[in-house]
Amino acid sequence: GAVVSQHPSRVICKSGTSVKIECRSLDFQATTMFWYRQFPKQSLMLMATSNEGSKATYEQGVEKDKFLINHASLTLSTLTVTSAHPEDSSFYICSAEDRPHEQYFGPGTRLTVT
């Protein structure tokens, strides 16, 4: 099946710094990737839709200047959390579509902001 990777798997950063998370589709090309956020014991909430070669589409309530998304190629999307604060600590998961109804998820990145 299609494989999506994320890097890093875990990251700890200090408040006020920025952190970049990479999402790669390893064996297929994905014109669209998605970024989700999951708080402990909660469901996944879509943050934004990342489109190759164009601006990301953010969900209501998600600050686009804080969560910068770049989809530079058909296999790579990045999420940068700028000026991170402790409340940004969460599990961030990306996904990419291989075929129209099969969305494959990365293993997730656990961000802790101290």
Partner 1 sequence: AQKITQTQPGMFVQEKEAVTLDCTYDTSDPSYGLFWYKQPSSGEMIFLIYQGSYDQQNATEGRYSLNFQKARKSANLVISASQLGDSAMYFCAMRPRGGAAGNKLTFGGGTRVLVKP
Sequence-ordered list of residues with C-beta below 8 angstroms from that of 36, at least 6 positions apart, any chain? 44, 45, 46, 47, 92, 93, 94, 95
- Quickly count: other Cβ atoms within 10 Å of residue 33's Cβ: 29
Question: 60 near 48, Cβ under 8 Å?
Answer: no
Q: Which is nearer to partner 1, 82 or 89 (CB)?
A: 89
The residues in 49-78 that bind partner 1, with binding defined as CB under 8 A, are 49
Q: Residue 97 Cβ, how far from partner 1 at the closest point, in Å?
A: 6
Q: Does the protein bind partner 1 through residue 35 (CB under 8 A)?
A: no
Is the N-terminal amide bond of 86 cis, ω within 30° of 0?
A: no
Q: Residue 16 Cβ, how far from partner 1 at the closest point, in Å?
A: 26
Q: Does the protein bind partner 1 through residue 32 (CB under 8 A)?
A: yes
Q: Does the protein bind partner 1 through residue 104 (CB under 8 A)?
A: yes
Q: Which two tokens stand for residue 54?
A: 């164009």
Q: Which is nearer to partner 1, 69 or 106 (CB)?
A: 106
Binding stretches for partner 1 (CB under 8 A): 1, 32, 34, 42-46, 49, 91, 93, 95, 97, 101-108, 110
